[in-house]
């Protein structure tokens, strides 16, 4: 018979050691729901603690054992996952969302040849709450001129066209991977909040919504709080208009999940933000 008594201790490094139902367990500070677990043990709420600690089994079940948790860290196929993504994964599972897009996103991340680029991408997505697509890509914004051409020219003087359906590419070796060099070579994307800092709507400049595969991310410049990104390939999927319902995106199964696990669809408010 299970006992409801919960005993615990928190070490100087923040590791929570608990004894419940005759079992000793440890919760590390990087564990998803660490703060909630700490609240539960302080209140000696055994039922809540069991609910939170059972998450490990649920995560492994949903990911078909590809994602596992041990020693205070998540791994995907044996490779460490960034903490920003593990938190989002946990929220998705807890709220019962379709996990296929997220798993496809992680799989695409593993195809990126540069681990630093993926670590930086997690910061970009976490800071800007940008949507994932069904095939594991993500959406971001790009400012172009009134004729749908890149505002800045290529080294040879040409300008990339950015109409819906266009796919723009650049050799990865020609894109600067150093995030400390902020205005450098590469195909530039940004959050919607950054767009007013680039180009000018008074000149007729347009804002396009682009789809980027995580494998094609090169770097996230350190300035502007991780609101900009450099990549080597993107597809233009829609033009952004304030207050537009973006039906073309709705048909593509686009959605966003914020840091609290709230699912947002491709409908947007007057400021262009994705709404519930």
Whether residues 157 and 256 share a domain: the answer is: yes
Q: Which domain holds residue 19?
A: 1-53
Report the number of distinct structural domains present in the chain.
2
Average pLDDT over residues 94-109: 80
Tell me, what's the pLDDT at 267? 45
| Domain identity same for 168 and 36 | no
Residue 28 sits in the same domain as residue 155: no
Q: Are residues 21 and 150 in the same domain?
A: no
- Residues 128 and 21 grouped into a single domain: no
- Find the DSSP H helices in the chain: 34-42, 46-53, 55-62, 83-95, 100-109, 115-128, 247-250
Same domain, 120 and 244: yes
Tell which wins on pLDDT, 23 or 198: 23
| Tokens found for residue 3 | 């006992």
Do 149 and 242 have their domain in common? Answer: yes
pLDDT at residue 273, as a whole number: 43
Asked if residue 249 and residue 126 are part of one domain, the reply reads yes
Mean pLDDT of 138-159: 91
């Amino acid at each position: 018979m299970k006992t409801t008594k919960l005993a615990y201790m928190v070490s100087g490094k923040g590791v929570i050691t608990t004894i419940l139902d005759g079992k000793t367990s440890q919760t590390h500070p990087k564990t998803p729901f660490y703060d909630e677990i700490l609240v539960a043990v302080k209140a000696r709420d055994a039922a809540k603690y069991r609910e939170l600690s059972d998450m490990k089994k649920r995560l492994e079940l949903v990911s078909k054992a590809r994602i596992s948790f041990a020693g205070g860290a998540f791994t995907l196929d044996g490779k460490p996952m960034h903490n920003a993504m593990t938190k989002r994964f946990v929220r998705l599972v807890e709220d019962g969302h379709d996990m296929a897009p997220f798993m496809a996103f992680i799989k695409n991340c593993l195809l990126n040849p540069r681990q630093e680029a993926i670590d930086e991408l997690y910061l970009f997505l976490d800071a800007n709450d940008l949507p994932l697509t069904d095939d594991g890509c993500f959406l971001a914004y790009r400012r172009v001129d009134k004729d749908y051409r890149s505002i800045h020219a290529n080294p040879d003087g040409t300008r990339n066209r950015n109409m819906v359906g266009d796919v723009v590419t650049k050799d990865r070796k020609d894109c600067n991977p150093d995030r400390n060099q902020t205005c450098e070579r590469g195909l530039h994307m940004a959050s919607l909040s950054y767009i007013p800092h680039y180009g000018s709507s008074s000149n007729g400049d347009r804002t396009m919504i682009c789809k980027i595969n995580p494998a094609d991310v090169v770097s996230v410049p350190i300035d502007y709080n991780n609101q900009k990104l450099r990549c080597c390939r993107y597809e233009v999927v829609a033009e952004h208009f304030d207050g537009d319902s973006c039906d073309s995106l709705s048909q593509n199964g686009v959605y966003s999940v914020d840091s609290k696990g709230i699912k947002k669809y491709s409908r947007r408010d007057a400021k262009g933000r994705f709404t519930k």
